[in-house]
Structure 1
Amino acid sequence: METQKDNVIDDLLDRLERAVFQRQTKQGVQLLLELLNTMSTQRSPFGILPPTSPPEERRAAYTRIAAMISALICSPDFLIDLAQIEFLAGRKPMLEAIFELSGYEGPFHLLRYNGQRNADGSVMLRANQVFVLSLFYSLDALPPELIQGVLKLPPDQLLPLMVGWFTAPFVHHARGEENRSILIEHCSRIETANPTQGIVQAMTSAWMHCSYADHPRKHDIKRSLNEVWRRLNKLGGLKSRPSERRLVDKPTLLICAERMNAGHAMHRSYAAGLKQLKERFRTICMATAGFITPDTHELFDEVSILESGIPLKEIGARIVRLEPDIIYYPSLGMSEWTQMTSNQRFAPIQLMTLGHPAPAMMDTMDYALVQAGHGEASGEFGKKVIERQAWGQFAPYSESINFAIEAKPFEDGRLHIAVNSSLMKLSPRFLAMCERMETEAKRPLHFHFFASAAGVMYDRIRQVFERRFRYFTLEPSRQYQAFLNVLARCDLALAAFPFGNTNSTVDTCLLGIPTVAYYANEVLSIGDRDVMRLVGLPSWLVADSDESYFETAMKLIHDDEARKSIVDQLKATDVKAKLFQAPRPEDEHEFVDAMDWIYRNHEALQASSQHLLKVGEPIPA
């Protein structure tokens, strides 16, 4: 039975086909944008069709859409304005997936139709053709002749293409990683672009998703995007207006929280520390409606809710009225407004922690406050790094969650492996590693990917896995307890790399599932190691190279006793106490101590020649 969502998509597709066949190109472009918007907002856990739909029906649906897009852009009267292009840039992963899921299996026919074939077999395109065709190519499919043409485009055209590619949540082929690296190495070319507000959504995703690239300078693109953010801030009337530096008994600390919903990874990671701050600071949490829940208000003295659609200028005015002595960003990368405000100065001291564990690369962020042991990755950060005295602790998802699950094992003769990492983290290197395990293992393996994929991306990832793995399940998004019930049935877990896990490894430890992790001396890969240290797991489970990761995984795949010993150790450990309680009495106030130390010693910290400084230790000149 069709759902209302299916009817809406079918109706829009019918109207799009009618417009295209009647050569009403302008109306067709508008209908295409409306169709893409509907497909992105009305997401299903199982793609755009019901889960029982046969593969040929899904393929036919995507082929209809791809055919209409092809007819539009190959029409002699096809025109598209900058605002429409910026809209498409924000939905570029969907555009790419539509073609790859269709009977065309990619947008290659567009290149053949529009390009002029040279005698040597190469294709020549005009600049406007390069620009339009690139909207439909994924990094995995992008041919060398097209990416070289892209790099010659003017900044105003390169910007929407580049941020569109960096919004892509899933790069699965080595060629895609190579193309992403080429863009990183040429990212400075976008810095002089003249953006409009229509690019904001794509820029927000690109700023965050660059962290999932497999390149040593992946964060360089943030410096370039920050230049564009500042230009957008000026257009929106947002400008720096810091309050005066002052020393008072109870300073005002504004917490700009991108996410503070109970159970969200940000709440699980920082609730314990945030609760401490009320002791010595007047704490105000600013968050967008829908991204903070009433049960988390108790962490703060006050809460300031930003309503949907609030003008950027008004956000700045509200911050100024609060006169903050410190602005603290628990994370940066998930919201548009925080990326814009953090590129300005509204307080004499501005700092961040690593909720999305990556540097901000902006001069307006005075400090990155990291937990003990993370200072070893301080070279990644452009500004000063302050290392705390403790690892920190986690807050439970909910007190009502049951982790003592008597999971029914699978009885199919296969070893079931959980990959409890979101789709952005499934890098080409990691997926190739999983394929190698399947090929070389002496027993059949069944991978369970908990990738948080939905809608078109669910269909896209499923197609990729169907071609790469013999036995796999792409698990749909579920409520947390239902998700744990499925996860608990797995024999082993693999944390993806180079961007690792944190809360996902908390879950596997609580469930008693042996986990293999990767430590690569960059801050976004340290979380798994920290969690496994906290619960006392042996260090050999954390690899420091691709080969050692493979060997560790293969040991647990083949050695039932080794795997059982990890399970027994976790069951004999009070994992909840290790994760959710302060390891030492002094850690009950360690986070507020760190924040107060920064506030009282700001001038000395700024004057110091040292890049990495440790809370409570003498501050060198």
Structure 2
Amino acid sequence: MSQNKQASVIRFEQAVAKKDFEVSCNELLDILGSLDNQFGGIHQIECNYPQQLNFSEQERVVHFATRVASAVTELFDAKNNFSITEGGFNRFMTLHRWLGLIFASSPYVNADHILKTYDANPNPNPERPLEIHLPNNIEAIKRFCILYTMESNVPLNLDVLWNLNPSLCASLCFALQSPRFIGTESSFTKRAAVLKWFPEKLKTFENLNTLPSAISHDVYMHCSYDVDADKHRVKESLNAVIRKHLLASGWADRDVKKIGRTNGKPVMFVVLEHFHSAHSIYRTHSTSMIAARELFHIVGFGGEAVDQAGRDVFDEFHLLNQNSIFDKLNAVKDYAEKLEPAVLYMPSIGMDLTTIFLSNTQIAPIQSVALGHPGTTHSPFIDYVIVEDDYVGSEDCFSETLLRLPKDALPYVPSALAPNSVEYRLRENPEVVNIGIASTTMKLNPYFLKALQTIRDRAKVKVHFHFALGQSSGITHPYVERFIKSYLGDSATAHPHTPYHQYLGILHQCDMMVNPFPFGNTNGIIDMVTLGLVGVCKTGPEVHEHIDEGLFGRLGLPEWLIANTADEYVERAIRLAENHEERLALRRHIIENNGLSTLFTGNPKPMGEVLLAKVAEKGLLDDTPATKAAKKPAAKKSADAKTSDKADDKAVKKAPAKKATKSTATKTAADKPKKTTTRRKKTDA
């Protein structure tokens, strides 16, 4: 957005009316940039609303969206002759999701009426009225990509678009994976098609120069919310392009043949994405890092948002506030040259560009991630994934070797915002069973909503669903609400994003909960039990769905609340809704036995021990007390925690390591189940 200039709908409309196309595009980009900065909020954007809308936030949002969409309709009509620069196009694609939301939250729904003005077919097919033949014209293709949204009903032939212009086509594929709400059948189907088609094409790029790289993390992360078994494959291709881009920019990996010591201990680097006392990653991963300080000197790296509690987790903490990703990587590398870390560890990966780029470099001899965002990295530079044993569904979902820890090895920290006490609301025989759903917009999808629709239709009691939604605010919410109502009508209330205490208040009015699938909940389950509620979840092979099963098991909930299929999910949710006495007995059991305490207690030491053992296996430790500590877990095996040796054996049986260059080695789709990488032979193999 232009410096010190408030975005303005009024100025945008005036520029469009004057046919000042350059000013119009810049004013529109300012509006989209403001939406991006405010997570969809419109309060920082100048707009003269009718006074009758002063008390209706949602109607003001629809009014705003309709006016902007109408001005865009006039600006981008094919009759207007103007060109969009390469930089301008890149900016439009980076902010593409917000333009899509403007149309989706307006009565227009999509921009197909504008796209039709670009149809070059002299004989349109009346049976396919939305089919468009684009002219082989770079400006027309750019505008098509800018205006083609997730709700478009125009058939999209990616092969044709690729043949016209690969870079523009790839940019559109990036943009179509960037929205934080892809829940409708139309949008969900589009992303699924892109995830199948795009990976092989993406690999052909030598760098990110012509792509909207600022949304690379959305491409990387949002694939997890799809349902296909191969949904993470796009990460492999993105990693390959990032690696080539880094090498072409002058990046050189460290020599990691030896390690240093600080205060007599080997060094562990921890690079953070989001990490402060109110954030879920702090609550789930801080205790194990604090415990690891007994064995490692731990150095944290993160942004300004890491609060004092977050910084206190580490022996030392360094801000990563450099201007570019490359500068941030070099800052980490410079510290690594001085301290010679034995381990690079990232508690989460996928929510920030820095960690994704860093996962395609060699900083330390041992490189590992945890599952703050649960999904494989598909990076040949990440050796291990650290995960609790009961959270693993299938190891085939990972390209890395798993370090499976005991189920109490990452004890959680209660939220800094959690209530000190709760007055439980136990309704004996409600006329309407209120069912709570704690979910971010990213977890909503047509399969989940169809299951809820079936629950409503088949239940012998009246039910009402309360969606306590994260990220659903501003111009996002009308679109999300329309989606939910399209399945559930008046049987659902879609609550917009609220502060934590208000969010808990919504769930507190409920009699039970159901978890979204296939991407389930961790903190939503903790909130459920905090309020003395019970619910139903669906498990599966991916960690992001198997976590629910693991948590239900730790809480002592009966196995019948854990469904393996959507049909089981429906059946068990209906049982829980209809049988008031059974539901209340389960709730009282959770309350009386303080089930939540099991999540906050445990032994946080195994993570540090297992990582130290891996350092020792590489022959990098001297014969010191630390070495003896490193050897201890190698001899210790339990039924609860499979050691990485089993995973390693499986890896070797599946695929012996192959030789390849660091810059080009990747795996094909057929290679997906392999546990080894093509970059180098793993120590365990």
TM over 0.5, shorter chain: yes
Distance 1:315 1:446 in 2: 49
Deviation at 1:224, TM superposition (A): 1.4
Distance 1:61 1:492 in 2: 37
Distance 1:73 1:289 in 2: 40
Aligned with 2:615 (options 590, 599, 602): 599
Task: Specify whether residues 548 and 450 from structure 1 end up closer, same or farther in structure 2 by C-alpha distance, changes over 3 A only.
Answer: same
Aligned pair 1:286/2:301, yes or no?
A: yes
Aligned with 2:529 (options 509, 515, 531): 509
Aligned with 1:571 (options 591, 605, 608): 591
Does the aligned pair in 2 maintain the 1:86–1:198 contact within 8 Å? yes
Q: Which residue of 1 aligns with 2:155?
A: 144
Task: Specify whether residues 620 and 56 from structure 1 end up closer, same or farther in structure 2 by C-alpha distance, changes over 3 A only.
Answer: closer
Aligned pair 1:59/2:62, yes or no?
A: yes
Q: Which residue of 2 aligns with 1:457?
A: 476
Deviation at 1:104, TM superposition (A): 2.1
Aligned pair 1:229/2:229, yes or no?
A: no
Alignment gaps of 5+ in structure 2: 620-633, 635-643, 654-682
Distance 1:466 1:231 in 2: 46
Alignment gaps of 5+ in structure 1: 1-6, 614-618
Name the SS of the counterpart of 2:490 in structure 1.
coil
Aligned with 2:118 (options 114, 120, 144): 114
Alignment root-mean-square deviation, CA:
2.9
Does the aligned pair in 2 maintain the 1:327–1:350 contact within 8 Å? yes
Name the SS of the counterpart of 1:505 in structure 2.
helix
Aligned with 2:515 (options 488, 495, 498): 495
Task: Specify whether residues 539 and 242 from structure 1 end up closer, same or farther in structure 2 by C-alpha distance, changes over 3 A only.
Answer: farther
Aligned with 1:552 (options 550, 557, 572): 572
Task: Specify whether residues 326 and 257 from structure 1 end up closer, same or farther in structure 2 by C-alpha distance, changes over 3 A only.
Answer: same
Aligned pair 1:475/2:515, yes or no?
A: no
Mapping for residues 365-444 of structure 1, pairs under 5 Å = 365-391=382-408, 392-398=410-416, 401-407=419-425, 413-444=431-462
Over residues 529-581 of structure 1, what are the superposed CA-to-partner deviations in whole Å (9 max), with x where a residue is unaligned?
11111110101111000100010111112111221121111111122321101
Deviation at 1:297, TM superposition (A): 2.2
Distance 1:197 1:409 in 2: 59
Q: Which residue of 1 aligns with 2:134?
A: 125
Aligned pair 1:201/2:204, yes or no?
A: no
Q: Which residue of 1 aligns with 2:34?
A: 38
Deviation at 1:247, TM superposition (A): 8.2
Does the aligned pair in 2 maintain the 1:405–1:485 contact within 8 Å? no
Which amino acid in structure 2 is aligned with residue 354 of structure 1? L
Aligned with 1:174 (options 185, 188, 201): 185
Name the SS of the counterpart of 1:446 in structure 2.
strand
Q: Which residue of 2 aligns with 1:3?
A: none
Deviation at 1:311, TM superposition (A): 5.5
Does the aligned pair in 2 maintain the 1:326–1:349 contact within 8 Å? yes
Over residues 139-196 of structure 1, what are the superposed CA-to-partner deviations in whole Å (9 max), with x where a residue is unaligned?
3434334555445453311222111111122222334333222211212212233423
Deviation at 1:197, TM superposition (A): 8.6
Distance 2:28 2:468 in 1: 31
Over residues 491-515 of structure 1, what are the superposed CA-to-partner deviations in whole Å (9 max), with x where a residue is unaligned?
1111111111111111102221111
Distance 1:418 1:507 in 2: 11
Which amino acid in structure 1 is aligned with residue 484 of structure 2? F
Distance 1:152 1:447 in 2: 46
Q: Percent of pairs identical after alignment?
A: 23
Does the aligned pair in 2 maintain the 1:20–1:71 contact within 8 Å? yes
Does the aligned pair in 1 maintain the 2:141–2:168 contact within 8 Å? no
Name the SS of the counterpart of 1:610 in structure 2.
helix
Aligned with 1:327 (options 344, 350, 353): 344
Task: Specify whether residues 88 and 242 from structure 1 end up closer, same or farther in structure 2 by C-alpha distance, changes over 3 A only.
Answer: farther
Task: Specify whether residues 575 and 46 from structure 1 end up closer, same or farther in structure 2 by C-alpha distance, changes over 3 A only.
Answer: farther
Deviation at 1:77, TM superposition (A): 2.0
Name the SS of the counterpart of 1:434 in structure 2.
helix
Q: Which residue of 2 aligns with 1:21?
A: 17
Give TM-score scaled by structure 1 length: 0.90
Q: Which residue of 2 aligns with 1:447?
A: 465
Distance 1:280 1:57 in 2: 56
Deviation at 1:221, TM superposition (A): 0.6
Q: Which residue of 1 aligns with 2:606?
A: 590
Aligned pair 1:184/2:223, yes or no?
A: no
Deviation at 1:87, TM superposition (A): 2.0
Over residues 437-487 of structure 1, what are the superposed CA-to-partner deviations in whole Å (9 max), with x where a residue is unaligned?
223333332221122112211222123234332132222333323322322
Distance 1:308 1:458 in 2: 34
Aligned with 1:250 (options 265, 287, 296): 265
Deviation at 1:207, TM superposition (A): 0.8
Distance 2:249 2:390 in 1: 40
Task: Specify whether residues 491 and 136 from structure 1 end up closer, same or farther in structure 2 by C-alpha distance, changes over 3 A only.
Answer: farther
Distance 1:493 1:294 in 2: 34
Which amino acid in structure 2 is aligned with residue 125 of structure 1? L
Deviation at 1:44, TM superposition (A): 6.8
Deviation at 1:401, TM superposition (A): 2.7
Deviation at 1:410, TM superposition (A): 13
Task: Specify whether residues 567 and 401 from structure 1 end up closer, same or farther in structure 2 by C-alpha distance, changes over 3 A only.
Answer: same
Name the SS of the counterpart of 2:394 in structure 1.
helix
Does the aligned pair in 1 maintain the 2:73–2:114 contact within 8 Å? yes
Name the SS of the counterpart of 2:386 in structure 1.
strand
Task: Specify whether residues 314 and 511 from structure 1 end up closer, same or farther in structure 2 by C-alpha distance, changes over 3 A only.
Answer: closer
Does the aligned pair in 2 maintain the 1:140–1:177 contact within 8 Å? no
Which amino acid in structure 2 is aligned with residue 539 of structure 1? E
Aligned pair 1:73/2:76, yes or no?
A: yes
Task: Specify whether residues 299 and 59 from structure 1 end up closer, same or farther in structure 2 by C-alpha distance, changes over 3 A only.
Answer: closer
Task: Specify whether residues 160 and 409 from structure 1 end up closer, same or farther in structure 2 by C-alpha distance, changes over 3 A only.
Answer: farther
